[in-house]
Structure 1
């Protein structure tokens, strides 16, 4: 994926600056951009060889066996690859000169299977510089940028409690990604801290992060026969599906059931009803991941990287999807 594609996660005003900074890191120290995208299309990639002419596109390829082609079909991750001609020297025991690529692995709300932790870890072991965005890669030292899931879920649950809700259902995110795991665990902890009963019948786990799954889970909650007055959804798309399922059954949101969401994706303020949401730093997360990637590309700072970056979140109650309990 081209650097400008990843930079779209950043503040539009900052895009050119980020592109320039990544470009400088990529071309610094005598590195040259590759002239052909063949290796990013699953073709045969070639290791730089002094016998080849500098204007030969193959001169700027590296031997990186089919990772891009294999993973590009999995919409659960987006990647940035920067190939360069010169070898980057690493000093120290067991370290040798190696050609370097880099990637930002992004957890995305998608119906496709996400790229597994093991495959990302394997790519990193094979020399790919990786920064995980909105997810962790378990059992690895890959740096990651995530949101303060605990704070966000706790703020939302406290807000619902202050509105009088005690029977609160939870549509949890997929449990094959760290984000879904963290938010479900945070829901349980926050409920305990706030002396809120957790009814396991009112927790439904999704298989995919999309509207249809939100609708399916809402129907499952209704079918349980357990009463609830609010639904805390693990992300925006699940909340949209839940609202649609309520609407199809003549259940008004928020008059009959309050629904909340998490992430605050752009343009969702155009959807009615407007929902109480936990807002994550979408631009800030993208920038933080890019800055870590720049440090990894810099030989002088590559060994001084914090593995964990947790960004604060913000509750936005100035919506209408959660009302005081009057029923």
Structure 2
């Protein structure tokens, strides 16, 4: 039995084929009387009709898809961001194609070229490095983009980012209020905008609070990973640097610090306190539960989706950047210094 067509749905619902098409497309459903739209959708469900996105794209010159470019799918930071993106895109009739770059510039370029060959109408990119020639090139070529969570320098496109500087200040001030004066920073990669922003904010807050400004208290990792965090803390400890607390560049780096605590029999928070950044899921299940800076992941994704839809509707509109406030979540990994 042949699959039902749009014309079959229209005839069964007693409407013109164009009306049925508008009713079945979330992006145009508002142009149809609500009762008529419900009738058409009910008939389509009864007949088992499925719209053909390729045929629709040929008629409208629109694919109904956007590319979502992530640096590391294994990072728990990103699933809730993607969920927020989808919650905004789906009602507007768009779906997202997710690609993973593994923080590899060559893979990133290949993945984005592949997305463009699929005629995506825009990109949501979470891979921004401090210097990002590919993003600059895409911007010059007029590709509709939104940067999420990170923002490269010199690329004037819409962005949605957490207020990292405020988050760092809350983390360091919390440790200072507990009595810590020598706070180490296991920083994220210096080639990422997030790593640079948080490290810069750390130095500023330490200076403003009158804490120890010892360059030996800062070590930079080569990735946002648990392994890199562990290696960073080992460097600090092996160098004999004295400190009573750690501000980790993100929660994964903080997890690496936990690994070293177990490895070297260091009691947390009795001997060393630690604060993370991101508030990934399940941090409250750690022993001790991790104090961290909470990022509104779902809201970041939703705002990114809205910014992209606005840019698709009007590519000439001025780039708008949104900075979201963060909050400190105090758990069991921080306490006054033992001495």
TM-score normalized by structure 1? 0.71
1:322 aligns with 2:334: yes
Matches within 5 A, 1:42-61: none
1:303 aligns with 2:316: yes
Contact 1:78/1:104 (8 A) holds in 2 = no
Contact 1:106/1:134 (8 A) holds in 2 = yes
Distance 1:16 1:208, change over 3 A: closer
1:312 aligns with 2:332: no
Distance in 1, Cα, partners of 2:246 & 2:206? 13
Q: Indicate which of 233, 240, 245 corresponds to 2:255.
A: 240
Q: Indicate which of 179, 182, 185 corresponds to 1:170.
A: 185
Distance in 1, Cα, partners of 2:108 & 2:327? 30
Matches within 5 A, 1:36-47: none
Which whole-Å deviations, capped at 9, do the CAs of 1:144-179 have from their partners, x for residues lacking one?
Answer: 111111111111111001111111000011111111
SS at match of 1:153: helix
* Corresponding residue number in structure 2 for 1:134: 149
1:264 aligns with 2:295: no
Q: CA deviation at 1:203?
A: 0.3
Q: Indicate which of 9, 14, 23 corresponds to 2:94.
A: 23
Q: CA deviation at 1:280?
A: 0.8
Distance in 2, Cα, partners of 1:216 & 1:285? 30
Distance in 2, Cα, partners of 1:310 & 1:13? 16
* Corresponding residue number in structure 2 for 1:195: 210
Backbone CA RMSD of aligned residues = 3.4
Q: CA deviation at 1:303?
A: 3.3
Contact 1:84/1:101 (8 A) holds in 2 = no
Which whole-Å deviations, capped at 9, do the CAs of 1:188-242 have from their partners, x for residues lacking one?
Answer: 1111111112110110001111111111110111112121100000100000001
- More helix by percentage: 2
Q: CA deviation at 1:73?
A: 2.7
SS at match of 1:250: coil
Q: CA deviation at 1:23?
A: 2.4
SS at match of 2:333: coil
Distance 1:261 1:289, change over 3 A: same
1:143 aligns with 2:158: yes
1:125 aligns with 2:137: no
Q: How many residue pairs align between the two structures? A: 264
SS at match of 2:332: coil
Contact 2:189/2:195 (8 A) holds in 1 = yes
Distance in 2, Cα, partners of 1:106 & 1:174? 15
* Corresponding residue number in structure 2 for 1:294: 309
Matches within 5 A, 1:55-134: 73-74=107-108, 81=115, 101-107=121-127, 117-134=132-149
Q: CA deviation at 1:78?
A: 8.6
Segments of structure 2 that go 5 or more residues without pairing to the other structure are: 1-64, 70-77
Which whole-Å deviations, capped at 9, do the CAs of 1:105-159 have from their partners, x for residues lacking one?
Answer: 1139xxxxx6961112212222321111111121121221111111111111110
Q: CA deviation at 1:255?
A: 1.4
Distance in 1, Cα, partners of 2:124 & 2:114? 6
Distance in 2, Cα, partners of 1:102 & 1:82? 9
Q: CA deviation at 1:305?
A: 4.0
